[in-house]
Structure 1
Amino acid sequence: MMKNIKRFSVIGIIGLVLLFIQSCDDTTEKFTISQPTAPILAELNFTQLELDAVNTSNPALTLNWDEADYGIQAAVNYTIQFSKDDTFAETVIASTITGKTSVTLSINEVNAAAGNAGLNPFNWSNIYVRIVSSLGTQNSETAASNAIMFSVYPYYNYVYDDYYLVGDATAPGWNNNNNNPALFRDETDSNTFYYTGLWADNGHFKVLETKGLWHPQLGTDDGVKFWGTTLTSSSPEPERLPYGGGNGIPGGFYTLKMNFASKTFTFEAYDATGKTSPASLEIQGSSTANVAMTPLAFDGHIWFATAIHLTPGNIEFVTGASAKWGSTTSFSGVATDGGGAVPVIVEDDYDVWFNDLTGRYIFIPLNL
């Protein structure tokens, strides 16, 4: 009998130990939330907001709301959403904060939200805003507030960078303000730029961000990657493109491609055999009276028109033989014969460049 009692006692102790270990290993925290009560966004004390394109960092509006209730003590995330209609079928996120029930947005933030929502610049349009609450890093259990509406007058936010050639392999030589040809920005990837054309024999070049200024300038040290100076840090300077120091390139037609995300570039030969330029080229359309474009004397495949005034509407590139080249993307793209009219979405003075080898065009606003 004593032996049986001891045996059961040992088994019981082992069971208790295993139960204790199992309970120690289970560190899962479980909690239950109630059906969330959505935040309530307070009405604004104005109905119209005209955005100032000069003092863009100034505050534009302050939003206040009653906090969402999830039935537990937790830090609640709040996302500020804008939309051009009250269905919020397409939303623009202007800001996200945690644990607060108020946010102040700058003029630039509201203008960007309006533009991304599809509102046209320099026109009064209605815009809608709401607050969406959520929990945790996964933004779970969302709840949307009421929407409020006001009328906004956005300015145009030109978000693109532009770049120019300089160097003894290029038309302007080593003159940083000599009608320097622009690189052509990809219509779907604003980090990618191209230039296809004639390059002078035994020459080099660099890329400038602003005509008339030597800095920032871009160059290379290894022929693969490029880097640059800044306005405040102009030394040291990179070597000249495309190979750095040493001998220049053999003269001929090449395509330069630069990716500003990866800071890489390629420089490859281009076969221009049999490629002829039109006898004349004009910009025509509802945005302007007819404007004659001028070919570079250095490379007749590159056409330009300087400081022409364009209003909202559209244009095409029309040859002397009445071929109409165009596309459907504003500011930059690839035009084809019969490809449609290029939309001009904001009034300004523009430098316009067109490449008849590739059909690429770029419109560079001078005042936006």
Structure 2
Amino acid sequence: MKRLKYIQNIAIAVITLSFILVSCEDDSEIFTAEATPPVALSELPTSMIELDPNNAGNPAATFIWSLADFGQPAAENYSLQISADEAFTEPYTATSVSGTNSVTLSMGELNSAAGTVGLPPFEFNTLYARIMSSIGTQNGLPVASNSISFDVKPYFNYPFKDYYIVGNATAPDWNNNNNNPALFRDASNSNVYRYTGYFGAGEFKVLEVKGLWQPQWGTNDGSTIDVNPGDGSDPGTFPNNNSPIAAAGFYTFTINFGSNTFGFEPYDASGATTFSSMTIQGTAAGGDVAMTQLGFDSHIWFINSVNLGQGDLNFLTNTGATWAGDTSFSGQATEGGGSIPVIVQDDYDVWFNDLTGEYILIPLNL
């Protein structure tokens, strides 16, 4: 009996060793992918698409193309690129998919793509589309398809961010939803915002959304700006990381979100005219609409939630002088300076600084 058991153990050992030896043999194969021929992107069934802001979730266009062939059974990736020119100088990737050869963009998605590549609103202009094929998790061996073109009439995309001040050195105090004055955006550099006006002895911060404490901007070192986007620690206060403004007075606060820097300098308002009233007028306003003087600072004027149509706009003082600039949404007004273009109808918060002539029109629904 013991001999039989011994023979069985030897047999098992031989089988096990054979399995190990066979397993150790290098029988792997090297798989090499090759660049696919360009996939063929089909023309759209319509050559003109008018986008509807009231149905932003509805389908706008379905793009269909042939499948790629990289010579290996690996994940095939496809990116739909949109461009304002046939050379795809600055393409925008509208969406990416894997393992399928069609994708549908909604009205809102196609409108966003059109705005991103620079198509103006409310008129038909040509867009170009192509498919970029690639393989694997690293999007290797990218190959562009043929391009197709079609005309699109976008609705408006508001491309800017707006910012507001809060703090015990400002009119709203530490209330994040108390008619917080807006910073005035530079018309030629949308990263630069300014606020020239009266500041009390104290501190302040910058908010991105009225009624919310984050995103919240301040400074931790007194020279660069810091932000809590909503999942971090709140930064220190302006003007110098919890070192308050020592003397109340007029100052110019400048913040540059491109370079992450800021400035806070005294401003001489001693010779400035104090107006007793201010109105907006023009075809966009549909008549004269009175502005309200900020009680904290007599040089800051505002209107909340005023409906403006497409047209022109200027500011009229109690002296009969009109002030305006030539850039929409924000800019620098001068006396007798023509008309501010309002390019899209909406409800707006309007702010005007009679010390500097700066204005900003903030759409509430775009």
In the superposition, the TM-score normalised over structure 1's length comes to: 0.71
* Kept in 2: contact 1:82–1:127 (CA 8 A): no
Aligned to 1:149: 150
Aligned partner of residue 91 in structure 2, secondary structure: strand
- 1-structure distance, mates of 2:54, 2:216: 28
- 2-structure distance, mates of 1:332, 1:298: 23
Residues 197-229 of structure 1 show CA distances to partners (whole Å, capped at 9, x for unaligned) of 1111x2111111111222222122221122122
Aligned: 1:230 with 2:229: yes
Q: Determine which of 250, 258, 261 is the counterpart of 2:258.
A: 261
* Kept in 1: contact 2:199–2:251 (CA 8 A): yes
Aligned partner of residue 111 in structure 1, secondary structure: helix
Unmatched tracts of structure 1, length 5 or more: 1-36, 68-76, 134-142
Change (3 A) 1:321 1:247: closer
Aligned: 1:294 with 2:285: no
- 2-structure distance, mates of 1:345, 1:117: 15
- 2-structure distance, mates of 1:179, 1:54: 32
Aligned partner of residue 288 in structure 2, secondary structure: strand
Offset at residue 92 of structure 1 (A): 6.4
Structure 1 counterpart of 2:174, one-letter code: W
Aligned to 1:172: 172
Which structure 2 residues correspond to residues 125-274 of structure 1 after superposition, within 5 A? Answer: 125=124, 127-129=126-128, 131=130, 148-152=149-153, 154-200=154-200, 202-231=201-230, 233=231, 236-274=233-271
- Kindly report structure 1 stretches of 4+ aligned residues shifted beyond 6 Å: 37-40, 87-92, 100-103
- 2-structure distance, mates of 1:109, 1:41: 19
Structure 2 counterpart of 1:314, one-letter code: D
Structure 2 counterpart of 1:240, one-letter code: T
Residues 9-40 of structure 1 show CA distances to partners (whole Å, capped at 9, x for unaligned) of xxxxxxxxxxxxxxxxxxxxxxxxxxxx9997
Aligned partner of residue 114 in structure 1, secondary structure: helix
Structure 1 counterpart of 2:183, one-letter code: L
Aligned to 2:19: none
* Kept in 2: contact 1:53–1:155 (CA 8 A): no
- 2-structure distance, mates of 1:105, 1:276: 57
In the superposition, the TM-score normalised over structure 2's length comes to: 0.72
Structure 2 counterpart of 1:188, one-letter code: S
Aligned to 2:75: none
Aligned partner of residue 110 in structure 2, secondary structure: helix
Aligned: 1:322 with 2:320: yes
Aligned residues: 311
* Kept in 1: contact 2:192–2:255 (CA 8 A): yes
Residues 33-82 of structure 1 show CA distances to partners (whole Å, capped at 9, x for unaligned) of xxxx99975321245353557766x8743434689xxxxxxxxx999554
Change (3 A) 1:281 1:90: farther
Change (3 A) 1:208 1:146: closer
Structure 2 counterpart of 1:149, one-letter code: F
Unmatched tracts of structure 2, length 5 or more: 1-36, 68-77, 133-143
* Kept in 2: contact 1:51–1:60 (CA 8 A): no
Offset at residue 155 of structure 1 (A): 3.0
- 1-structure distance, mates of 2:127, 2:245: 57
Aligned partner of residue 309 in structure 1, secondary structure: strand
Say what the alpha-carbon RMSD is for the aligned residues. Answer: 3.7
- 2-structure distance, mates of 1:335, 1:102: 52
- 2-structure distance, mates of 1:130, 1:218: 39
Aligned partner of residue 110 in structure 1, secondary structure: helix
